[in-house]
């Protein structure tokens, strides 16, 4: 008989005041229950119960031990209840990373829906650039993230979604929006760009280099929202994901400037730790977020490698 079984017999015998009743509760014979108590007493080297004709009395040592055993079984039961809640998604924690812009335009609608359906699951969100998110994922400090692809080889891309960048500017640059312009002409204009180190900035410079061009922006900003505000205020041409400025383009606050040299499409993706290392709540979150963003295909993922 295991130690945990011995303690079960002891705890019930004290609570019910009878070894016989404890045996009945545990569906075991009375001699087996008595043997379990004797084993426990021998291991501890003290008398725990005194047998009487109508039950048992608890010694002082037995009362002290019972307080601890009662607490231990209470914690085990609480742990089992907690696991039950996690299995039914009534509780759990999801650690998520994303940039402010990706969170605002792609994650927030999903987070609102997920929280309303699973209010017991706690979502811990940290922001950062794609490279920072990948570093946190590799370190195990987050369960999943949304980044600009490609991802590192040691991460799992659970889903991807294509995005399209564009050039935009305020009404003062309307003369550039009437017809497509060449990049050679466009780079002569003042530019408002995201700060160096962002994947959008790196992608933009690679695009220019493909056409033998480069530029230094007049204004560098770390926030997409602030970049959009500067562009609306006619501070320069901005390079931004079209989804991020759809409202401004629709209202006329910003105008799209079409370049003669097509801007290649790129992708954002949901990246996660391996399935076996995710909690139940995190695995559910990644699955539903992937469906929201758009399921990956094998061909799509090979294009990101």
**pLDDT tens string 227-248:** 999 999 999 999 999 999 999 9
Computed from CA positions of residues 105, 106, 109, 114, in that sequence, does the dihedral angle turn out positive or negative?
Answer: negative
β-partners of residue 271 are 145, 157
Mean pLDDT lowest among 101-110, 113-122, 149-158 = 149-158
Q: Mean pLDDT of all residues in the chain? A: 90
pLDDT at 80 over 50: yes
SS3 163: strand
pLDDT at 276 over 80: no
pLDDT at 167 over 70: yes
pLDDT at 304 over 60: no
Computed from CA positions of residues 256, 257, 260, 266, in that sequence, does the dihedral angle turn out positive or negative?
Answer: negative
Distance between CA atoms of residues 228 and 234, nearest Å: 10
pLDDT band at 302 (very low <50, low <70, confident <90, very high): very low
Distance between CA atoms of residues 158 and 277, nearest Å: 14
Neighbours of 94 (CB within 10 A): 24
Provide, rounded to the nearest whole percent, the portion of the chain with pLDDT above 70: 95
């Amino acid at each position: 008989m295991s130690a945990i079984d011995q303690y079960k017999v002891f705890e019930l015998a004290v609570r019910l005041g009878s070894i016989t009743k404890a045996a009945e509760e545990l569906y075991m014979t009375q001699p087996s229950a008595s043997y379990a108590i004797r084993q426990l007493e021998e291991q501890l080297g003290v008398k725990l119960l005194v047998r009487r004709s109508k039950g048992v009395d608890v010694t002082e040592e037995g009362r002290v031990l019972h307080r601890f055993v009662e607490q231990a079984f209470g914690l085990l039961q609480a742990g089992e209840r907690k696991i039950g809640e996690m299995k039914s998604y009534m509780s759990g924690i999801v650690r998520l990373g994303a940039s402010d812009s990706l969170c605002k335009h792609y994650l927030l609608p999903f987070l609102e829906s997920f929280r309303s359906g699973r209010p017991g699951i706690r979502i811990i969100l940290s922001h950062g650039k794609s490279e920072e998110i990948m570093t946190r994922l590799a370190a195990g400090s987050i369960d999943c993230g949304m980044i600009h692809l490609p991802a590192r080889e040691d991460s799992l891309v659970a889903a991807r979604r294509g995005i399209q960048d564009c050039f935009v500017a305020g009404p003062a640059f309307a003369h550039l929006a009437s017809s497509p312009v060449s990049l050679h002409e466009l780079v002569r204009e003042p530019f408002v760009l995201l700060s160096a180190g962002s994947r959008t900035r790196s992608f933009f410079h690679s695009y220019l280099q493909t056409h033998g061009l480069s530029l230094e922006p007049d204004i560098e900003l770390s926030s997409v929202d602030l970049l959009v505000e500067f562009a609306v205020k006619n501070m320069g041409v901005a390079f931004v994901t079209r989804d991020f400025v759809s409202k401004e383009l629709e209202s006329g606050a910003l105008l799209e400037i079409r370049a003669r040299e097509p801007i290649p499409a790129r992708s954002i993706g949901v990246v996660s730790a391996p399935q076996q290392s995710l909690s139940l709540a995190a695995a559910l979150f990644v699955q539903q977020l992937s469906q929201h963003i758009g399921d990956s295909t094998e061909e799509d993922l090979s294009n990101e490698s």
